[in-house]
Structure 1
Amino acid sequence: MKRETPSHLTRRQILRRACGITATALVGSMALTQAGTASAAVAASKRFDLTDASTEWFREILLNETRILQSFAFDNINKHLYTAQLVQDGRLLPGETRAFTGADRSTNGDLCITRLDWQGQIIGRMYLKGFGHGVSIGAEPSGNGTYVWTETNSVPDGNNDGYGTKVARFKFTNGAVLQPDSAQVTRYDPVPGSDHNTVAVDPVNNRIAHRYRLSGTWKYSLYDLAAFKAGTFTALATITQPSVLTGPTFQGYTTMGQYLYTLDGTAYTYDNTGKQTSTSNTYVTSIDWNTGTVYERRLSNAGESLFYREPEGLAIQIPDTTNPAAARLFLGFGSEESVTRTDKKASFYYKDLLV
């Protein structure tokens, strides 16, 4: 049966429906049972409506490495996109006497940071040896340059994947290869004894979120960015990860205003003929920094036609810096062309309805 598009919809609304989202609402009573503990006093703000359909920005662009996108961040002043990947198998970096396998790179926590313009073209890359897994990164504009925030001082977990035990800040330098103790790297230890450290930057409110695991418990803390840079680790908010995020595969997070946003899910599965055998289990969740309560949790079908389609990262973009209220919540996905053509590509979709 032919389905007609209602005449009152704009072209943009039509496109957004085409990249749509299927919503399974988390009702209020359930949200209360999923709340983590919290200690905070973050000013009230608008939130992204997670029922809002997702608009495609880039579909299946190439990054510097052939491995999956891990996370990404925006420099909204200089209009750059930064992505994190684990270094690919066989890559020989300056100063190395032999090439390492992909498994070696994962264990050591060796990352590639790729810089792209907002047309999707690669305009730089640098390498980080012994930093971590790249679950989340941040970008901080500085004049014509950018400081990148990542995890660092990687330690392998039980699966031999390296994750950071500290936080790092360094200026993006095309072609550079950094170690955790490189002079260009400033390291921070906001929660001594924690592991799986990652960060995300709120470019609207100049804050930084820190996710970490301490004594087996996942927590998030929110800081003023300037204070954090100065080494003052007085959190504006600290919450325990809600139990609804305990089972799913965690894939990234970001923050804006009063709300923390998380991404979880896994890639589609296929049989040996390439027929898809699973459906989307990608969820976006918003959490109130003040209470630790899950406000909304929605199933996303953004990019549902991608082959493989693994959710990888969240970030905030401000397309017009004169109007920071017109921010976008971006979702990242890694994909493959087919069962046999497995080099990874990256796709990005966004929501921009604030309520």
Structure 2
Amino acid sequence: MAYTDANGIDLSGVTGRLIQTVDLVKNPAPQAIATDTVNGHIFVLQVESSATASVGNMYLNRIDRQTGARTGHMHLKGFGHGLAMGVEAVGGDSYLWTEVGPLHVTSSGTAFGKAVTRFRFVDGAVLDGATIPQEQKFTAPGSTAGTGPSTDPVNRLLTVMYHKDGKRLFTRYDLAGAAAGEWVPVGTTFTVPTGEDITPAVPSPYTLKPKLTFQGFAALGDVLYIYQWAPYDKDKDPTIPSEFPGITFLTSYSWTTGERLDRQVVTGADGLTRREPEGLAVEVDPTTQETRLLFGFSNTVPNTEYARDVTIGWYPTKQAVDGVKVLSDWEDLTLETGVAPGAQRPRGRLIALAGTAYLQLRGTLTCSPGLTADRKIATLPHRLRPTRPVRQNASRNNQSGRCVCRIEADVHGALWAYGATTGNAITWIDLDGVSAAWR
């Protein structure tokens, strides 16, 4: 049953897209996400492979939020695993909040930072956690294992997750005060209720592991969101294909009462090849000023076995207007060589109507001397790219009674036109009638 929380977020509702299938600086999967909307950056943490380096090393990727292009990275040595991350803009600089050593190394050899720190992003820099002064590190009182910070940009709060007496706890601090080294708790500490890591009984094609894996968190006002994953249990069923990793859950809690508000299976970006949940964050969209809950997924880079890329979606908070939510307003398509705008330039947008997201296109394009075979005609912006193919018929020049071609968009945003032949060239396409279900 749909439930909308105090922030306007419905975890069972429609979602938009920020970036899709963006390659990272190294092969391992992303771990945590955060955005600096003032300076136009997305930050993604990934663990450096322990097969080639000491445990606890990470890479911090910087990505342009408009183009999806990676614009820089840092190497973080002895920091941990990347349970969560926060960011704040200070003028033209981005300051990151992450976990840092001393490290807590588990019996399986995974290393987590036991302290929280803050540092300025410097492209190409190598930062050794052991060289960070102790006064620039913070460990929550009584914390015994891994920790992680997350920023609430609306309320200017920093939430720190940590472990104490076998429980997972969250405490909030004033963001400016924490940056100045003043760690005074704001309000009460939230303790995750017992049993919340038990895998729920949900329809599944394969047996799920009995306990959920923590994949990130974010706090917005009075609501705490926790990202979890129920991997398929390959120990019990070794025939499970590796590209089918499991089921993702997102749970919300009231910070005031401690009760669970909602828990839903995350259905966004469901067409990725290997879809593993990685990271939550909160941002305020710089264009619309809408507060959004971001969620990340890793995916296998095509034609590789181990390399992972990152896709980030988001839940809207604004209400529909006349039944329509605009998830991404009109943006120009990037046209291929030999394809030009017609009377109206080709554009696209994403809307939600009655619980379904739709990709809408408009405008016309011309092809000179004409398309004579199936081919790519344009590229969609990251915010419009589907994770399952989207296709619909569109009007074209009438030749020998043929006046329709098929338009199809794929996971990488490639927009193709099908139906042209050497004897029946397509010279123009009208996109105004394209409105297809998107996910």
Q: TM class by shorter-chain length?
A: 0.7 to 0.9
The reply on whether 1:216 has 2:166 as its aligned counterpart is: yes
1:61 equivalent to 2:25? Answer: no
Say yes or no: does 1:142 pair with 2:90: yes
* Structure-2 separation of matches of 1:140 and 1:214: 27
Residue 282 of structure 2: aligned partner = 316
Q: Which residue number corresponds to residue 117 of structure 1? A: 64
Aligned-partner SS, 2:247: coil
Corresponding residue number in structure 2 for 1:300: 266
Q: How does 1:76-225 map to 2 (within 5 A)?
A: 76-88=37-49, 101-102=51-52, 104-105=53-54, 108-118=55-65, 119-153=67-101, 154-183=103-132, 186-225=136-175
Is the Cα contact below 8 Å between 1:171 and 1:184 reproduced in 2?
Answer: no
Structure-2 separation of matches of 1:340 and 1:180: 32
State the distance in 1 between where 2:215 and 2:43 align.
Answer: 17
CA contact (8 A) 1:47 1:258 kept: no
The 10-residue stretch of structure 1 (215-224 or 178-187) with the greater mean CA deviation from structure 2: 178-187
In 2: Cα distance, 1:259 partner to 1:51 partner: 16
TM-superposed CA distance for 1:280, in Å, is 5.1
Cα separation, 2, equivalents of 1:306 and 1:314 = 18
Residue of structure 2 aligned with 1:258, choices 199, 202, 222: 222
Secondary structure of the 1:228 match is helix
Deviates more, 1:80-89 or 1:249-258: 80-89
Measured against aligned partners, the alpha-carbon deviations of 1:184-208 in whole angstroms (never above 9, x if no partner) come to: 8821123244321101000111001
The one-letter amino acid paired with 1:46 is N
Tell me how far apart the structure 2 counterparts of residues 174 and 110 of structure 1 sit (CA, whole Å): 17
One-letter code aligned to 1:331: F
Runs of 4+ in 1 over 4 A off after TM superposition: 266-280, 337-340
Secondary structure of the residue aligned to 2:9 is coil
TM-score normalized by the length of structure 2: 0.63
- Whether contact under 8 Å (2:171, 2:185) holds in the other structure is no
Partner of 1:226: helix, strand, or coil?
helix
Matched, 1:227 2:177: yes
**Which structure has the larger Rg?**
2
> Are the structure 2 counterparts of residues 269 and 228 from structure 1 closer, same or farther at C-alpha, using a change threshold of 3 Å?
same
Comparing both structures, which one devotes a greater share of its residues to helix?
Answer: 1
Q: Which structure has more strand as a fraction of its residues? A: 2
**RMSD (Å), alpha carbons:** 2.7
**In 1: Cα distance, 2:313 partner to 2:215 partner:** 15
Give 1:341's aligned amino acid: E
In the superposition, relative to structure 1, how do residues 193 and 258 fare at CA in structure 2: closer, same or farther (>3 Å)? Answer: closer
AA partner of residue 163 (structure 1): F
Structure 1 length normalisation: TM-score?
Answer: 0.77
Distance 1:69 1:263 in 2: 14
1:217-266 superposed Cα distances (whole Å, 9 cap, x missing partner) = 11111222122233233232311113323531110011111111111114
Q: Distance in 2 between matches of 1:299 and 1:87?
A: 29
Which residue identity is paired with 1:224? D
Task: Choose between structure 1 and 2 for higher RCO, CA contacts under 8 A separated by at least 6 residues.
Answer: 1
Measured against aligned partners, the alpha-carbon deviations of 1:66-111 in whole angstroms (never above 9, x if no partner) come to: 100101101121110000001146xxxxxxxxxxx25x44xx3101
CA contact (8 A) 2:217 2:279 kept: yes
1:236 matched residue in structure 2: 187
Residues 335, 139 of structure 1: CA spacing in aligned structure 2 closer, same or farther, 3 A cutoff? Answer: same
Spell out the pairing of 1:261-300 with structure 2 (5 A cutoff): 261-266=225-230, 281-300=247-266
Contact 2:56 2:78 in 1 (8 A): yes
Q: Which amino acid aligns with 1:176?
A: A
Q: 1:269 to 1:77 in 2, by over 3 A?
A: farther
CA 1:225–1:338: 2 relative to 1, 3 Å: same
Cα 1:274–1:306 change in 2 (3 A) is farther
Residue 287 (structure 1) shift: 0.9
- 1:269-316 CA distances to partner (integer Å, 9 max, x unpaired)? 899999578585211111111111111111112111111110001111
- 1:98 alignment partner in structure 2: none
Q: SS of 2:104's equivalent? A: strand
- 2:84 partner SS: coil
For structure 1, the 5+ residue unaligned runs are 1-23, 27-43, 90-100
Q: Which amino acid aligns with 1:128?
A: L
Cα deviations by residue, 1:124-165 (Å, 9 ceiling, x for unpaired): 111111111001111111110011001111221121111111
Identity value in percent:
28
Alpha carbons 1:221, 1:237 under 8 Å: kept: yes
The 8 Å contact of residues 78 and 130 in structure 2, kept in 1 or not, is answered as no
Query: How has the CA–CA distance of structure 1 residues 143 and 338 changed in structure 2, closer, same or farther, with 3 Å as cutoff?
Result: closer
